[in-house]
Structure 1
Amino acid sequence: MGLRISAAALADRLSDLIGPRASVARGVLDQHGQSESYYPTLPPDIVVFPETTQEVVQIVRLCAEAGAAVVPFGAGTSLEGNAASVTGGVCFDFARMNKVLSVHDSDMDAVVQPGITRKQFNAELRGTGLFFPIDPGADASIGGMASTRASGTMAVRYGTMKDNVLALEVVLADGRVIRTARRARKSAAGYDLTRLFVGSEGTLGLITELTLKLHPVPQATSAATCGFDNLHDAVDTAIALIQSAVPAARIELLDDVMMRGINAYSKLGYQEAPTLFLEFHGSEAAVIEQAQTAETIAVEHGGRGFAWAKAAEDRSRLWHARDNTLYAGLGLRPGARAVITDVCVPISRLAECLTETRRDADEHGFMAPIVGHVGDGNFHMLILIDPANEGEIAGAKALQARMVARAIAMDGTCTGEHGVGLGKIDYLQDELGDAVAVMRSVKAALDPHGLMNPGKIFAGGARP
């Protein structure tokens, strides 16, 4: 569906509604057409900054009347072009909807607006004895994390966004507002609409409110690093930790290439070898026991240089380095951009998938550091390319395609946490077959005119 009125006329109507919070400034448009990915800038025609659900409703209705695409935007940290405006339209920047609406300490849940980032949210929770554990590395917005079904470093213990979202308020394509559930911890009342919208990448509606599970701040925390001669031994250690019922909060793996990157970027002195980053939560006694068990298991699998970080500042330095792996990786090739891709496989196949992918990248001459949430079988590769070199881009895409095919052949998935966006559309059919047609039916039922974040998840909708 094309615009029924000009973009300028729509901008005027939006300005009448929300004043200067509707922008057509070139710098603002370009900023909202970019992300951390290598994709070219795909800006919207208009950017709006709503402050309430009612404003979102009014703007969505104007977009529906005008036939304009509706594209949600959080913190701009997505990695698969999830918030790119491939057909122009109106970008909804939720930065002004960033409040904690309520915290229910005794129920261990909170209600928040979508624009609040995970770090802002946890800062607001300080003093309650509770925290929100989902940590994708970047300081992403909570709404964006729900939209892409994010997970991150603590998923092995606390689960992913789908496990920690109790309910949503969503504005549909026709301007209706629905609540997907109440605050109860479980329900058998009809379809699970909450999980339908978690991971839908804004293609079914705009999330305007989230009810989230919270968790007690652990009494004690300890972290450690341990190097290995090869990726296989590091993954085998992670598997053994899980099979031994050690309740690790984080089990992260950085390969030797990524370790070289973080040493340079964060001014650290780690050995440049495949390295596990571990963290344990619990009582003082439990953390000590977990740490001792982990060290024993690591040594049995060839681990060396086991180093504990017990002080808060040491743990902060360790995880700050881990959270900045994107920039550390990019620093290995100044001026490069990264084709950032992830897959997830059953953990028993992880070592095989990782080592074959590492070998593939090396044989084809790519500098491609790897970082993985190995506790749940998920890993990421940053394929560093010259964005002006079409041959390198094509080679990187071919490397990604082989990585995905390898994961799917192992009964894994083309994306563990980045979402489909623009980058994984070609692989969805291979992974899910006829289920994709069912997804299209759901999309058609809720968004019959195809206005909600077009061009994502499914093929079609690219800007001419």
Structure 2
Amino acid sequence: MGERITVNASVREQHSHGEGSGLIGMPDLVAFAETTEEVSKLVALAHARHLPVVAFGTGTSLEGHVSAIEGGLTIDLSRMDRILEVNPEDMDCRIEAGVVRSKLNEYLRDQGLFMPIDPGADASIGGMCATRASGTNAVRYGTIRDNVLGLTVVMADGRVIKTGGRVRKSATGYDLTRLFIGSEGTLGIITEIQLKLHGIPEAISGATCQFESMAAAVQTVIEVMQAGIPIARIELLDESQMEACIAYSKLTGFEVLPSLFFEFHGTQAGVREQAEVAESIALDNGGRAFAWATDPEERNKLWKARHDAYWAARAMRPTYGAFVTDTIVPVSKLTEAVLGVKAAIVDAGLLAPMVGHVGDGNFHTVILVPPEDGGQERAWTLDRKIVEIGLSLGGSCSGEHGVGRGKRDFLVREHGEETIEVMRMVKAALDPSGILNPGKLLPDRVGQN
């Protein structure tokens, strides 16, 4: 594969970062792998030379996961995009790591199946596994962790192992599949995934509801979840994000107010019942009557606007930088968290629209970074404040973006030093030379650079 290994400066620059802000590291060379065997050979060569190795999918991660901060070799897996096997009767499939969500669902559509994990960006599914991604459908279908049956992984010395299988449960051995899910390329490189699939629902209905205050919108979320409604998606957009989406996505019929986007899946009768209960709760909290989006084209436009929220926010201040942070709290603490973050944004004097998959307590803030001196520091300070609010309420520093380089400093606070030390022991056992995605995920020991 010599012609697919390059030291070209522009290619190396493209692979030096994801979508996150300021987290850049240039690899010394980039290889475009096309098979698990090629990845194995590349990693074995890197292991023999103590060369750092970073796996790269579509580059949509936000916390510096794919930056080659110690140089070395970046292995681009985007050409490993084959759908290897679909088993409709068992509702599972086997794919290569470079397959993106949209391609898989397009392939599955005629078989009445879909893969519901939808992180917004059209990420590679291997990257979604590496970062333990979730997204808008997680409240009903779980995260990627809940939908992976098994993996093919290239270890730090080039050996290839398979974890899990096709069965829905097993009581044999360590659960290595979930060890690699969320390991961010620090324990091995995922090259194939065995995925659960789901049936396309008989009926899908979308709705929006606007509120005079964020508190009322969040209270609606809490009560909907406590009522046990099996809602598929429930998204919160604050007034700043709605202003951005109205302008960018040409949404009509909306005011610049905090809003909830709902989607209901199931039978015709089930969807109707779910929607009626959710609307009743919203009205009790002062929400406007639901605006329905039952036509697929209209519903897709609505969710396209939601998925374009980042670009809509960027368009509000075209000369500004931006980075997205996230936190997650227990649903009962959601009001306190959201209102605390809103107050922190005001105190920082920054524009930072909020949007989130609030059905599971997770929300994001798009911090727009002023170009003047000190703007980056003010934005980072706000980012840290947002995470502190989440942690103080029993939450996590990241509900779905992962840790990468950007959130390592919070891991000891969240998990405790002894727990992190066990993670370091696992890393040392599986990657004794420390070549796999070095400087990511695990914080340095105190006094260590």
TM range (shorter): over 0.9
Query: Hey, what does 1:315 align to over in structure 2?
Result: 299
The one-letter amino acid of 1:119's match is S
The list of structure 1 runs, each at least 4 consecutive aligned residues, that deviate by more than 4 angstroms after superposition, is: none
Q: Residue 400 of structure 1: which of 369, 372, 383 is its match?
A: 383
Distance in 2, matches of 1:58 and 1:220, equals: 47
Superposed CA deviations along residues 201-243 of structure 1, whole A, max 9, x for unmatched, are 0000000110011000000100001011111111111111122
Q: Is contact 2:93–2:196 with CA below 8 Å preserved after alignment? A: yes
CA distance in 1, matches of 2:112, 2:373: 51
Unmatched tracts of structure 1, length 5 or more: 1-17
User: Deviation per CA, 1:418-463, whole angstroms, max 9, x where unpaired?
Assistant: 00011101100000012111111100000011100011112459xx
Q: Which residue of 2 aligns with 1:122?
A: 105
Aligned partner (choices 411, 415, 419) of residue 432 of structure 1: 415
Query: 1:165-314 residue pairs with structure 2 within 5 A?
Result: 165-269=148-252, 270-314=254-298
User: Structure 2 vs 1, CA of residues 456 and 352 (structure 1 numbering), >3 Å: closer, same or farther?
Assistant: same
> 1-side partners of 2:372 and 2:55: how far apart?
31
In the TM superposition, what whole-angstrom CA distance separates every residue of 1:340-359 from its partner, at most 9, and x where no partner exists? 11000000001110011011
C-alpha distance in 1, partners of 2:393/2:443? 25
1:7 is aligned to: none
Say which is worse superposed, 47-56 or 398-407, in terms of deviation.
398-407
SS of residue matched to 1:30: helix
Corresponding residue for residue 327 of structure 1: 311
Shift of 1:160: 0.2
Q: Alignment identity in percent?
A: 51
Partner secondary structure for residue 248 of structure 1 = coil
The residue number in structure 1 matching 2:124 is: 141
User: How many Å separate the matches in 2 of 1:397 and 1:390?
Assistant: 13
Considering only aligned residues, what root-mean-square deviation do their CA atoms show, in Å? 1.3
Looking at structure 2, the residues matched to 454 and 336 of structure 1 have their Cα atoms a distance apart, in angstroms, of 30
1:353/1:415 Cα in 2 relative to 1: closer, same or farther (>3 Å)?
same
* CA offset digits 1:269-322 (Å, max 9, x no partner): 321111000000011111111111111111011111520000000001000000
Residue 42 of structure 1 aligns with which residue? 25
Helix, strand or coil at the partner of 1:34: coil
Match of 1:339 in 2: 323
- Deviation, 1:390, is 5.0
Tell whether the 8 Å contact from 2:53 to 2:75 is kept in structure 1 after alignment.
yes
Give the C-alpha shift of residue 67 in structure 1: 1.4
Instruction: Compute the displacement of 1:339 (Å).
Output: 2.4
Deviations 1:59-80 (A, max 9, x none): 1011111211110111110011
CA distance 1:426–1:250, change in 2 (3 Å): same
Post-superposition Cα deviations, 1:81-123, rounded to whole Å, max 9, x if no partner, equal 1111111111111111001110111111110100010001111
What are the superposed Cα offsets for residues 349-399 of structure 1, whole Å, 9 maximum, x if unpaired?
A: 01110011011111210100000111000000111103x545121122221
Q: Distance between the aligned counterparts of 2:4 and 2:292, measured in 1?
A: 49
- Structure-2 change in CA distance of 1:426 and 1:40 (3 Å): closer
SS at match of 1:71: strand
Q: 2:435 aligned with 1:455, yes or no?
A: no
> Structure 1: how far apart are the matches of 2:379 and 2:431?
34
Aligned to 1:421: 404
Whole-angstrom distance in 2 between the partners of 1:377 and 1:146: 21
Amino acid at match of 2:149: L
Identify which of 26, 38, 49 aligns with 1:66.
49
The 1-side partners of 2:406 and 2:372 are apart by 18
Moved more, 37-46 or 218-227: 37-46
SS of match in other structure, 1:180: strand
- 1:385 corresponds, among 369, 374, 382, to 369
**Normalising by the residue count of structure 2, what TM-score does the alignment of the two structures yield?**
0.97
Question: Quick one: distance in 1 between partners of 2:329 and 2:339?
Answer: 13
2:3: which partner in 1? 20
Counterpart Cα distance in 2 of 1:417 and 1:257: 22
Deviation at 1:40, TM superposition (A): 4.9
User: Secondary structure at 1:339's aligned position in 2?
Assistant: strand
Distance 1:351-1:301 versus aligned 2 partners, 3 A rule: same
Q: Are residues 1:371 and 2:359 paired?
A: no
Q: Give the corresponding residue for 1:13.
A: none
Aligned-partner Cα distance in 2 for 1:160–1:351: 23
Indicate which of 66, 78, 86 corresponds to 1:83: 66
Q: Provide the aligned length of Structure 1 versus Structure 2.
A: 444
Corresponding position: 1:51 with 2:34: yes
Q: 2:268 and 2:442 mapped to 1: Cα distance? A: 49
TM normalised by structure 1 equals 0.94
2:23–2:63: 8 Å Cα contact kept in structure 1? no
Which residue is equivalent to 2:394? Answer: 411
- Are the structure 2 counterparts of residues 43 and 305 from structure 1 closer, same or farther at C-alpha, using a change threshold of 3 Å? farther
Q: Aligned equivalents of 1:337 and 1:151: distance in 2?
A: 25
For 2:427 and 2:213, the matched residues in 1 are separated by 45
- 1:394-414 deviation per Cα after TM superposition (whole angstroms, max 9, x unaligned): 122221222112211111100
